[in-house]
Structures are given as C-alpha cells and as structure tokens.
Amino acid sequence: MMRLTLALFIGAGAAAASAAASAQENRGTPEQRAACAPDAFRLCSVYIPDPSGVEACLRLRKSDLSEACKTLFEQASTGSDRAK
C-alpha cells in the first residue's frame, strides 16, 4: 500500500525528524511528495510534522485538494501503489 502518510511527512520538510530506516523505505516517490506537499502546507499546516494528522486532514479536505494529490488518494483507496 502506498504510504501517503510518510510521503507527506517527508514532503512537508520534516525528513530530519524521521531518520529511521523504515521511514526511508516508505517515504513515497518524489512525484507523490511533490503532488501533496503544497496541499499539506495550504490546508493542513497546523498538523505538520504529524504525518497521521496531515493525512487525516487531507482526507477530510479531499474536495479542496489539487487534482494531483486527489488522484494519489484515490489510487491509494483502490490499492494502486504508484501515481502515473
């Protein structure tokens, strides 16, 4: 399953806070981070650097997401691991 949570966490500039190997393995692609980081800052900055909080916030604000980020959430809910 795609790890949007970690992708958002890393994309939000909090990579230093998560140096564990597992975080490095599941941080998402550069495209995934690029797609949702602006939305995380714009809509859910109060939750940064909490990855679970950011993800929950973005899910609640799905109608306000950019098309690129919305597509990633839709792919994650259908079980697709990669954004095209």
Average pLDDT of the segment spanning 20-42: 71
Kindly state whether residue 83 falls inside one of the protein's structural domains.
no
Task: Output b/e per residue, 41-54; b: 16+ Cβ within 10 A.
Answer: eebbeebbbbbebb
User: Which pTM was predicted?
Assistant: 0.61
Number of domains present in the structure of the chain: 1
Q: Are residues 44 and 57 in contact, defined by beta-carbon separation less than 8 angstroms?
A: yes
Residues 74, 50: Cα–Cα separation, whole Å: 22
Residue 60: its pLDDT value, please?
96
Kindly state whether residue 41 falls inside one of the protein's structural domains.
yes
Backbone Cα Rg of the chain: 11
Average pLDDT of the segment spanning 54-76: 92
Kindly state whether residue 84 falls inside one of the protein's structural domains.
no
Q: Please give the mean pLDDT across all residues of the chain.
A: 73
Q: Are residues 39 and 72 in contact, defined by beta-carbon separation less than 8 angstroms?
A: no
Kindly state whether residue 47 falls inside one of the protein's structural domains.
yes
Q: Does the pLDDT at position 50 exceed 50?
A: yes
- DSSP classification of residue 82: -
Residue 8: its pLDDT value, please?
52
Residue 7: its pLDDT value, please?
54
Domain that holds residue 46: 4-78
Residue 24: its pLDDT value, please?
40
